[in-house]
Amino acid sequence: MVFESSRTAILRWHEMLRTGDMTILNELLADNVIFRSPVAFKPYEGKAVVYFILTNVIQVFENFIYHREFYTDDQQSVVLEFSANVGEKKLKGIDMIRFNAQGQIIEFEVMIRPMSGLNALAEQMGKRITQYQAS
């Protein structure tokens, strides 16, 4: 599916989170998407692994909520500010998302604070990534 703009794609992103319909994520991700994790040095490349990461992090986060959105002047990038819990640890973060001309996500970078929240997320996601890489 081709989106009219990054704003349309972000509306679909919010719909996906609200409804839990992960087929929307498959539409949103470009085949050559790159994901930059706050805990991994090397980026993850390709739709399959990024789909896996994003669908799993949604399961790990509790009380996830977006607070604000910031678009670049060219409307090709957006920063989404969020908060969530991982177990008893609270965290704040941002998703920095860049779109191609078709409105699909080509880059997704996450930054999270504080370190205790990031460590809790890294522990939970580390287990899932290890299982994914083993299969």
CATH 3.10.450.50 fits 6-125, yes or no: yes
pLDDT in the model for residue 129: 81
Q: How far is it, in rounded angstroms, from Cα 19 to Cα 88? A: 25
Residue whose structure tokens are 């919010």: 14
pLDDT in the model for residue 4: 63
Reference 94, options 18, 16, 36, 41; nearest CA is 36
* CA 54, 75, 36, 60 torsion-angle sign: negative
Chunked into runs of 10 residues, the chain (135 residues) has average pLDDT values of 77 95 96 95 95 94 96 94 96 97 95 95 87 73
Number of H helices, E strands in the chain: 4, 6
The structural domains of the chain, with segments of one domain joined by +, span 6-125
Judge whether 12 and 105 are in contact, CB under 8 Å. no
3 is written with which tokens?
A: 């989106």
Coil, helix or strand at residue 106: strand
Note the pTM of the prediction, 2 decimals. 0.91
In degrees and rounded to multiples of 5, residue 134 shows phi and psi of -75, -25
pLDDT in the model for residue 3: 56
